[in-house]
C-alpha cells in the first residue's frame, strides 16, 4: 500500500492513468519485507529506536518471534527505496494458529517521524488489515503508555496497563467485527421481516408472504407436485407419489392431514407449517409452532413429519449450477438432521433461463440425492426466467430436537466433517466436505443428532459457526461462550474463515455436561463451549481473555 493522494484508487479503477501520471510520487509505500536485506534493515532500525534511542533493551531487542516463520514483517520505504519504518505481527502462541495475533516492534526512523508523513499510522493500519486477512479474530499490541492516545485515534481499544522491559505499557486491542458482520448480514433481518408471521398481523399479511398465485412453498402445493414435477436428470413420474417408481410413504395422506386449505409459509431457512385447523380471521400464524420458532425445520402438527425448506442464492445458481443443485440437497438434509429427523424425500422448485442451465442444476441435485440415498419426489420447473432454486425436504421423527432447548450450564459441542477442502471459487466461504463422501458416511453424519438426542441442536448455516451458536443461544433464551482453541477445525482453514464460513456438514449441540459425543461416522466432534446467562456470543482464549463476537440476538426472533 502507498501513501497516495485522495481519489487515486478511484482513478486507477477508472483507468485514468494520464491523471495518475501527473500526480506527485507518494512519499512512501508500505509492503511486506520479502528478502533478507529488508529484514536486516528493519532490525537495524529497531535497534536504533529501542536500544540506542529509548534504552528499553540492552544490546538488542530480538526474541523468539523473530525466529517464527509465521511472523510477518511490513516495512515502509521512501521514494529512494530506503526503509524508514517497520512493524511485525504474527500468531501469539507457538502452537497452532487459532486466530489470536499480536503486533509489535513498531519503529519509525527519526527523520520520518519529524516529517509528519504518517508513516507510523500507515504501518499500523496495514498491520490491522494483514492480521484480518490472515484470519485473525483477536489482534493485540502492547503499546508504550505515551502512545496510547495515538493508537486510540486509529481505532484501537485499551485493555489494561502492563509493564514491558521495565517501562509502562498498555495492552490494546484492535476490534475485529468479522463474526458479528457475517451473522448480521445473514440473519439480522429475519426478526423484523418475519415478525408479522411470528406474532400475527393484519388480514392478508400472511398471504402476502406466500408469493404470486400458482407458486408453492414447503408442503403447500405438494398435492400438485405429484402432477407438476421437475424433470430430474431423466426421471419420469410413473404415478402419484412416485418418481422413477420410488414409493412416497403416505405423502398424499400426510399432506391432506397437515394442509387443510392453506398454503405453507417460507421463513428464513425453514418452511414452517400452519396448524391443522382453519386459520384465524386475523391471519395469525406461528413460525415452526410452539417450541420450534425459527428452527431448522418445522414439525407438521398431528404427524411425525418434519418439513424444511431452503433457497439457493441466485448468483450461485448462475455461477456454479451443479454445485447449487448439490447444496440444495445438502442444506435441507442438514436441517432435517438437526431436528433428529430421518429424510424421506425432496421436492424442488427450479427456475432457469433455459433447459440447458436447468439440466446442469438438476444434475447436481440428482447426484446429491443419489449420494444421500434420498428420493426426489417431485417439484416444479419453469424456464425463460431468472435463476431460482428452492428445495423442500420431508423427514420423520417422533421426537424432534429443538434448536432452542438449551439452558445455561449446558455444554456446547461442534460435530463437523473436516474432510475435503474449499470449493473452487469460494475459498474462505464454502467448505466442501460432502461431495467425496460415500452414502454410508453421509447417512451416518445425518443420523448423529437423532442418535445422541441433545437438548438443542442447529446445523451451521451461512451465519457461520459462531453466528449459528448465537442463534441456538437466542432461541434458548441465553448467551454462549465458545472456546476458540477447542473448536474442531481443518488444517486448511484459518480460524476467521472457519468460524464464519458455510462448513458443509457441521452440527452445534447443547447437552448436560458429560453427555457422550454423537456417533457421526467420519465427522470430528468436541466440546468447545457452554451456554451461559445473558445473550450473544463471546470467544474464550487460552490465556483466559474473553472477547465479544456477537453482542446480542442474531435473528431478533426471540426464544423458541
**Which of 175, 200, 229 is the last residue in one of the domains?**
175
Count: domains in the chain:
3
In a domain, 459, yes or no: yes
Count of positions (residues) in the chain: 560
Quick check: 113 pLDDT over 90? yes
Query: Is the model more confident about 199 or about 109?
Result: 109
Query: Residues 32, 167: one domain?
Result: yes
Residues 138 and 165 reside in one and the same domain: yes
Q: For residue 389, what is its C-alpha cell?
A: 432454486
Pairing mode, if any, of strands 537-540 and 479-483? Answer: parallel
Q: Are residues 45 and 162 in the same domain?
A: yes
More confident residue, 347 or 18: 347
373 and 461 belong to one structural domain = no
User: Mean pLDDT highest for which of 112-116, 219-223, 464-468?
Assistant: 464-468
What is the pLDDT, as a whole number, of residue 198?
58
Domain boundary among 363, 396, 429: 396
User: Distance (Å, rounded) from C-alpha 190 to C-alpha 184?
Assistant: 10
pTM value is: 0.81
Task: Report how far apart, in Å, the C-alpha atoms of 214 and of each of 68, 198, 208, 312 are.
Answer: 63, 24, 13, 20
The parent domain of residue 431 ranges over 410-550
The residue out of 372, 396, 420 marking a domain boundary is 396
435 and 316 in a single domain? The answer is no
Read off the CATH number of the domain in which 379 is found: 3.30.1330.10
DSSP at 532: E
Q: Are residues 419 and 511 in the same domain?
A: yes
Integer CA distances (angstroms), 53 to 58, 256, 426, in order: 11, 84, 48
Does residue 151 belong to any structural domain of this protein?
Answer: yes
Highest mean pLDDT out of 139-143, 163-167, 238-242, 553-557: 139-143
Q: What is the pLDDT of residue 248?
A: 37
Query: How far apart are alpha carbons 458 and 356 in whole angstroms?
Result: 36
Of the candidates 392, 371, 498, which has an alpha carbon nearest to the alpha carbon of residue 446? Answer: 371
CATH of the domain at 510: 3.90.650.10
What proportion of the chain, given as a percentage, has pLDDT over 90? 74
373 found inside a domain: yes
Question: Does 421 fall in a domain?
Answer: yes
C-alpha grid cell, residue 455: 437438548
131 with 160, same domain? yes
Any domain includes 4? no
What does the alpha-carbon distance between residue 387 and residue 361 come to, in Å, rounded to a whole number? 10
Average pLDDT of the residues in 333-337:
98
Mean pLDDT estimate for the chain: 84
Q: Say whether both 392 and 417 belong to one domain.
A: no
In a domain, 257, yes or no: no
Q: What's the pLDDT at 147?
A: 95
The lowest-confidence range among 181-195, 232-246, 268-282, 318-332 is 232-246
Residues 483 and 361 placed together within one structural domain of the fold: no
- Other beta carbons within 10 Å of 528: 22
Q: What is the grid cell recorded at 133?
A: 486477512
- Residues 342, 441: one domain? no
Q: Are residues 389 and 415 in the same domain?
A: no
Domain assignment present for residue 232? The answer is: no
129 compared with 223, residue with greater pLDDT: 129
Neighbours of 379 (CB within 10 A): 26
Contact, 372 vs 443, CB < 8 A? yes
Q: For residue 49, what is the domain's CATH number?
A: 3.40.630.30
- Predicted pLDDT at 488: 98
Residue 209 lies in a domain: no
Say whether both 385 and 502 belong to one domain: no
Amino acid at each position: 500500500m502507498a501513501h497516495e493522494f485522495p481519489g487515486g484508487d478511484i482513478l486507477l479503477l477508472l483507468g485514468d492513468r494520464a491523471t495518475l501520471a501527473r500526480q506527485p510520487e507518494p512519499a512512501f509505500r508500505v509492503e511486506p519485507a520479502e528478502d533478507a536485506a529488508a529484514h536486516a534493515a528493519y532490525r537495524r532500525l529497531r535497534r536504533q529506536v529501542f536500544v540506542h534511542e529509548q534504552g528499553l533493551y540492552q544490546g538488542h531487542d530480538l526474541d523468539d518471534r523473530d525466529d517464527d516463520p509465521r511472523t510477518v514483517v511490513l516495512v515502509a520505504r521512501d521514494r529512494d527505496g530506503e526503509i524508514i519504518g517497520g512493524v511485525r505481527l504474527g500468531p501469539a502462541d507457538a502452537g497452532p494458529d487459532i486466530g489470536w495475533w499480536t503486533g509489535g516492534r513498531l519503529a519509525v526512523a527519526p527523520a520520518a517521524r519529524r516529517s509528519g508523513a504518517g508513516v507510523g499510522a500507515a504501518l499500523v493500519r496495514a498491520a490491522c488489515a494483514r492480521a484480518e486477512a490472515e484470519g485473525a479474530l483477536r489482534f493485540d499490541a502492547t503499546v508504550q503508555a505515551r502512545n496510547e492516545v495515538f493508537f486510540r485515534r486509529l481505532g484501537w481499544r485499551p485493555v489494561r496497563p502492563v509493564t514491558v522491559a521495565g517501562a509502562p505499557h498498555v495492552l490494546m486491542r484492535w476490534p475485529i467485527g468479522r463474526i458479528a458482520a457475517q451473522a448480521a448480514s445473514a440473519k439480522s433481518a429475519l426478526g423484523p421481516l418475519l415478525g408479522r408471521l411470528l406474532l400475527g398481523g393484519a388480514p392478508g399479511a400472511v398471504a402476502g408472504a406466500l408469493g404470486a398465485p400458482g407458486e408453492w412453498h414447503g408442503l403447500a402445493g405438494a398435492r400438485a407436485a405429484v402432477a407438476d414435477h421437475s424433470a430430474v436428470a431423466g426421471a419420469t413420474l410413473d404415478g402419484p407419489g412416485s418418481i422413477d417408481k420410488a414409493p412416497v410413504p403416505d405423502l398424499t395422506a400426510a399432506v391432506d392431514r397437515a394442509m387443510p386449505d392453506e398454503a405453507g409459509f417460507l421463513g428464513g431457512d425453514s418452511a414452517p407449517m400452519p396448524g391443522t385447523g382453519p386459520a384465524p380471521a386475523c391471519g395469525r400464524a406461528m413460525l415452526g409452532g410452539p417450541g420450534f420458532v425459527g428452527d431448522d425445520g418445522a414439525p407438521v402438527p398431528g404427524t411425525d413429519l418434519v418439513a424444511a425448506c431452503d433457497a439457493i442464492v441466485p448468483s450461485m445458481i448462475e455461477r456454479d449450477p451443479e454445485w447449487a443443485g448439490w447444496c440444495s440437497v445438502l442444506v435441507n438434509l442438514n436441517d432435517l438432521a438437526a431436528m433428529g429427523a430421518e429424510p424421506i424425500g425432496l421436492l424442488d422448485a427450479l427456475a432457469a433461463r433455459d433447459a440447458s442451465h436447468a439440466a446442469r442444476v438438476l444434475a447436481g441435485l440428482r447426484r446429491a440425492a443419489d449420494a444421500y440415498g434420498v428420493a426426489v419426489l417431485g417439484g416444479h420447473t419453469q424456464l425463460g426466467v431468472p435463476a431460482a432454486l428452492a428445495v423442500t425436504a420431508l423427514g420423520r421423527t417422533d421426537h424432534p430436537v429443538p434448536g432452542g432447548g438449551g439452558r445455561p450450564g449446558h455444554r456446547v459441542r461442534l460435530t463437523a466433517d473436516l474432510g475435503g477442502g474449499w470449493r473452487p471459487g469460494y475459498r474462505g466461504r464454502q467448505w466442501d466436505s460432502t461431495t467425496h463422501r460415500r452414502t454410508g458416511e453421509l447417512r451416518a453424519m445425518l443420523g448423529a443428532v437423532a442418535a445422541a438426542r441433545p437438548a438443542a441442536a442447529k446445523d451451521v448455516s451461512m451465519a457461520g459457526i459462531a453466528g449459528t451458536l448465537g442463534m441456538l443461544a437466542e432461541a434458548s433464551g441465553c448467551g454462549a461462550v465458545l472456546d476458540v482453541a477447542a473448536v474442531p477445525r481443518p488444517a486448511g482453514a484459518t480460524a476467521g474463515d472457519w468460524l464464519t464460513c458455510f462448513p458443509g456438514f457441521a452440527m452445534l449441540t447443547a447437552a448436560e455436561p458429560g453427555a457422550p459425543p454423537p456417533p457421526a461416522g467420519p465427522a470430528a466432534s468436541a466440546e468447545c463451549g457452554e451456554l451461559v446467562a445473558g445473550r450473544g456470543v463471546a470467544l474464550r482464549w487460552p490465556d483466559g481473555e474473553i472477547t465479544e463476537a456477537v453482542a446480542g440476538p442474531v435473528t431478533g426472533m426471540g426464544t423458541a
